[in-house]
Structure 1
Amino acid sequence: MTIGVEEEFLLVDPATRRPVARAGEVLARIDRDALPAGAKVHRELVGTQLEFATGVCDDLPELRDQLLTGRRALDAAARAEGLRLVATGTPVLADPAPPLSRGERFEVIEGIYRGQVADYQCCGCHVHVGVPDRDTAVHVVNHLRPWLPTLLALGGNSPFLLGRDTGYASWRMLEQAKFPGAGVTPFFKDAAEHDAQVERLVDAGVLVDASQTFWLARPSPAYPTVEVRVADTAATTAGAVLQAGLTRALVRTALASDEQPPELDDQVLAAALWSAARHGLAGPGVDPRTARRVPAAELVEALLAHVSDALGGDREPVRSLLRGALAGGTGAQRQRGAGEPGAVVDLLTCIVTESG
């Protein structure tokens, strides 16, 4: 079962430690022939951001190597421009209203959402897992719904915004919640029902087109994959590989299951997602299956038990990465441990190409 990851990053000035809108200059310095086969780099909505997307990978070691190669290429290009690359869900320090990237689609997005995107410098980690068809993708997403908050708790890496500690593990999730239809994906019986709902939102004028939705898991509009985009951009490659390994195991578990997806209350799911964004692994969570408050660590254990049979050859790498996340801290915990905001940015610039 194939896998791939898209990662969004910010460019910062090493003196001011604030994002700078020079994505075009950095991208121009990258030798695309040196990137892994099928990998891509491109700009994002805001001029301070850029993205690296791996090619199609067959296993986690290949994925890890591609992610490291991409991060090192972007970091080297940024340094050649006198800048630094950071992997964080929200900017630790920032000036207001950075310039948006130019392009017809970006201009349409700005026209619809206006001030909502004026300061939106959020960066996520998107995991793609190959599936046979769109109906299968919708079936898989239905099974993923109860586990998306736990993936967020593991992947929270945005505790700071504009120089202040928000008190959240993932402030990016709060920023993303402002968009229409954001959050845990609704239950759909098949791809036709999913696509009809997307078209209704497009016709209502709240989405640019059918390729733009804000649900945290979906059939990819561009690839034969399930796309899960719940986690913040990981501070290190290890965090991204952990998200990918767990997500692929969840997809495999869904495909192997003879049971119907659990019936879940949408408000409880929203509460579980909020709790994961608020506390990460450092506090309580909400179990969407029971609607009960439980320690976040219990939810991680339940996720690991749920996917145990599906991990296969990923078992030891995933367990090792998970032990590292629990012992060394999530991205949010590492950011807070660095101290004042300037030191947080310095830490992020140092660990963005960390291989462990």
Structure 2
Amino acid sequence: MAGEAQAQGLLTLGVEEEYLLVDATEAHAVELVEEVFDQLGDDIRDSVQHEFLRSQIETAGPPQLDLGDLAAAMTRLRAGLADAAERAGARLVAVGASPAPGTHSRVVDAPRYHRMRERYGDLSPGGGLNGMHVHVSVPDPETGVQVLNHLRPWLPILQAATANSPFSFGRDTGYASWRSMLWERWPTVGPTPYLESHEQYETMTADLIASGAMFDEGMLYWYARLSATYPTVEIRMGDVCPTPDDAMLLAALARGLVATLLRAVEDGRPAPNVPHPLLMAAHWRAAHDGLEGLNIDMATREPRPAWKLMRQLFDYVSPELERHGDLEMATVLMGRLRSHGTGAARQRAMLAQRGSVGAVVDWLAATTRGVR
């Protein structure tokens, strides 16, 4: 089956998700990651990892060809991890940044994280910043770099679709993704530069390590990069999504986009060299507005309703969604996102309805499991 898929040029897909651990009854983050690890079932233990802070935890399921299989695996992971968190006296919450007041969490007791804390200081405040990373297979690093060039204009609208962190310290920040604004303080965070070759990619990586801005390739926090571990392009600019449905839609679109752009690379079509300041503006707009406002049409360089750009992306990648068997599921999930709005929009609606950030966190804890 895998050999047949490879012969057809189908791409594998993997997802990493970072979560916040919050108190069992209150809305603030809690340092219970080791207690949660103690409660993990054997069926998910190998897919769960530490993150930077003691109030965070991460999952990384095995790569899949079938989107339905990936959805089932990620849903099982979320449910199993949520159960372990509850046994440890916490709740698992899929949110980009801690919405409630609380003390700053300490880093996980590991040499790498202590070293990061010593060099970079308090760049991850509160309970931690939680993202979603999508891995899509590519045939080789040189091709991967060319795909990264083609990806640059599309990533702001994917970021807008993941917006899921409007609140911080109990108040509305005015941004759909406050995590994005906090995350940009790290020295290597930002749009991927336009690169001529894999050799230039490696040279720039080495230069950044030599500068002290990062320790190693794992700290290359561009919005898309070549994975330091897997033969994949890693798209990593988004908030963790509130529901498995949202996560699977973004994963399907990411694979459809990479597959579409691979064809452009194979056909020798040059990537548009979008000016870096314009990309920065589009990513800022994505963080500020989510999908409920405007973003920048990179073809015309004019603001347009973000949902129209999202629809444009969906239509652009639909042939590859269909070729990978994802079109039916992605169409349903796209309709749900259009109906319900981003995680940020849903959090704001929940606050307006129930009147407290605590109620928002209750809702997030339920939706993390996939409860609608």
For Structure 1 versus Structure 2, the TM-score category normalised by the shorter chain is over 0.9
- The alpha-carbon distance between structure 1 residues 244 and 297, as it changes in their structure 2 partners (threshold 3 A), is same
Structure 1 residue 182 and structure 2 residue 196: aligned? no
Alignment correspondent of 1:141: 148
Structure 1 residue 96 and structure 2 residue 103: aligned? yes
Deviations 1:48-82 (A, max 9, x none): 00001010111110110011110011100011112
**Mapped partners of 2:125, 2:209: distance in 1:** 22
**Mapped partners of 1:80, 1:319: distance in 2:** 37
Alignment correspondent of 1:336: 348
Instruction: Show the 5 A alignment for 1:123-202.
Output: 123-202=130-209
Instruction: Show the 5 A alignment for 1:1-356.
Output: 1-32=11-42, 34-35=43-44, 40-119=47-126, 121-257=128-264, 258=267, 259-312=269-322, 313-339=325-351, 340-354=356-370
**Mapped partners of 1:233, 1:118: distance in 2:** 17
Q: Amino acid of the residue matched to residue 241 of structure 2?
A: A
**Mapped partners of 2:86, 2:124: distance in 1:** 27
Deviations 1:289-335 (A, max 9, x none): 32111111121122112212211211111111111001011111111
Alignment correspondent of 2:6: none
**Mapped partners of 2:224, 2:64: distance in 1:** 20
**Mapped partners of 1:216, 1:355: distance in 2:** 30
Between stretches 233-242 and 258-267, larger displacement belongs to 258-267
TM-superposed CA distance for 1:282, in Å, is 1.0
Q: Amino acid of the residue matched to residue 274 of structure 1?
A: W
Q: Amino acid of the residue matched to residue 281 of structure 2?
A: A
Provide the secondary structure at the position in 1 that maps to 2:218: coil
**Mapped partners of 1:263, 1:208: distance in 2:** 29
Aligned length: 353
Q: Amino acid of the residue matched to residue 335 of structure 1?
A: Q
**Mapped partners of 1:287, 1:28: distance in 2:** 48
**Mapped partners of 1:236, 1:249: distance in 2:** 20
Q: Is the 8 A contact 1:156 1:332 kept in 2?
A: yes
**Mapped partners of 2:242, 2:124: distance in 1:** 23
Q: Amino acid of the residue matched to residue 291 of structure 1?
A: R
Q: Is the 8 A contact 2:98 2:126 kept in 1?
A: no
**Mapped partners of 2:371, 2:88: distance in 1:** 23
Provide the secondary structure at the position in 1 that maps to 2:124: helix
Q: Mark the runs of 5 or more structure 2 residues left unpaired by the alignment.
A: 1-10
**Mapped partners of 2:346, 2:370: distance in 1:** 13
Q: Amino acid of the residue matched to residue 341 of structure 1?
A: V
Deviations 1:212-261 (A, max 9, x none): 11101000001000100121101000111011000000110011112111
TM-superposed CA distance for 1:167, in Å, is 1.1
Q: Amino acid of the residue matched to residue 6 of structure 1?
A: E
TM-superposed CA distance for 1:210, in Å, is 2.1
**Mapped partners of 1:298, 1:345: distance in 2:** 30
**What is the RMSD computed on CA atoms of the aligned residues?**
1.3
Q: Is the 8 A contact 1:124 1:229 kept in 2?
A: yes
Provide the secondary structure at the position in 1 that maps to 2:158: helix
Between stretches 292-301 and 241-250, larger displacement belongs to 292-301
**Mapped partners of 2:124, 2:245: distance in 1:** 29
Query: Normalised by the size of structure 2, how large is the TM-score?
Result: 0.92
Provide the secondary structure at the position in 2 that maps to 1:286: strand
**Mapped partners of 1:221, 1:144: distance in 2:** 18
**Mapped partners of 2:21, 2:181: distance in 1:** 22
Query: Normalised by the size of structure 1, how large is the TM-score?
Result: 0.96
Q: Amino acid of the residue matched to residue 353 of structure 1?
A: R
Q: Amino acid of the residue matched to residue 292 of structure 1?
A: E
**Mapped partners of 1:118, 1:170: distance in 2:** 15
**Mapped partners of 1:165, 1:44: distance in 2:** 26
Q: Is the 8 A contact 2:292 2:341 kept in 1?
A: no
Q: Mark the runs of 5 or more structure 1 residues left unpaired by the alignment.
A: none
**Mapped partners of 1:184, 1:21: distance in 2:** 32
Q: Is the 8 A contact 1:108 1:208 kept in 2?
A: no
Q: Is the 8 A contact 2:295 2:306 kept in 1?
A: yes
- The alpha-carbon distance between structure 1 residues 120 and 92, as it changes in their structure 2 partners (threshold 3 A), is closer
Q: Is the 8 A contact 1:94 1:162 kept in 2?
A: yes
